[in-house]
Amino acid sequence: MRDEAGFRAFVEANGATLLHAARLLTGDHHRGEDLVQTVLTRVYLKWGRIDAPLAYARRALVTAHVDQGRRRWWGERPTDTLPEVPEPGASVAASDQRDELRRLLAELPARDRAVVVLRYYCDLSEQDTAATLGVPVGTVKSSCARALARLRVEVTSGGATV
């Protein structure tokens, strides 16, 4: 029997963090929501058999994102003509900075983007990031250095204030 209350508490405690990480990985709010829904379904199906649900969910988030990137999609495509509605109370400048950050992250290769999101948004150590991605710590270090260098170049050359 599944622990419904435990799963519900897990989602309430970690859902927003997973959603934000998914939005950073995908570069799109709606695709991020779809990704979290997929991951939470996987977590629910294994609930009670996994020792570290948050670590499992993070790993599933990255894996599902990479898997979705491999699929060929012929359906709807997002457009740049409709701006996102700023969150209540958020300034337009803050919203513009978040949009710029998402755009810059979206330009990174999938592994580099995953490393940056896990290291700096999820605040995982290099060892935890390596374990989540299933790669050596050296790969995390080099991917992170490469991604941050590219982001710095983009920020300085484009005049962005991220």
The answer to the question of residue 114 being in a domain is: yes
Whole-model pTM: value is 0.60
The answer to the question of residue 80 being in a domain is: no
Please state, in angstroms and rounded to a whole number, the distance separating the CA atoms of residues 114 and 61: 10
Six-digit token pair at 128? 């935890």
The answer to the question of residue 51 being in a domain is: yes
The answer to the question of residue 133 being in a domain is: yes
Final residue before a domain boundary, out of 38, 71, 104:
71
Q: What is the pLDDT of residue 34?
A: 92
On the question of pLDDT at 3 being above 70, the answer is yes
Q: What is the pLDDT of residue 12?
A: 96
On the question of pLDDT at 93 being above 70, the answer is no
Same domain? For 62 and 105 the reply is no
Supply the DSSP string of 6-68, one letter for each residue: HHHHHHHHHHHHHHHHHHHHHSSHHHHHHHHHHHHHHHHHHTTT-S-HHHHHHHHHHHHHHHH
The answer to the question of residue 28 being in a domain is: yes
Side chain identity at residue 37, one-letter code: Q
Cβ atoms within 10 Å of 3's Cβ, excluding its own: 11
Same domain? For 5 and 67 the reply is yes
Residue burial 72-95, b: 16+ Cβ < 10 Å; e: rest? eeeeeeeeeeeeeeeeeeeeeeee
Final residue before a domain boundary, out of 16, 36, 71:
71
Cβ atoms within 10 Å of 54's Cβ, excluding its own: 15
Q: What is the pLDDT of residue 162?
A: 46
89-111 average pLDDT score:
77
The answer to whether residues 44 and 23 touch, using CB atoms and an 8 Å cutoff, is no
Same domain? For 32 and 63 the reply is yes
Find tokens 């050296």 and name the residue: 138
Q: Which of 65-74, 77-86, 108-117 has the highest mean pLDDT?
A: 108-117
81-97 average pLDDT score:
61
On the question of pLDDT at 33 being above 90, the answer is yes
Side chain identity at residue 77, one-letter code: R
Q: Residues, the chain, total?
A: 162
Domain residue limits at 28: 1-71
| Stretch among 19-28, 54-63, 91-100, 132-141 having the lowest mean pLDDT | 91-100
Q: What is the pLDDT of residue 23?
A: 92
Q: How many domains does the chain have?
A: 2
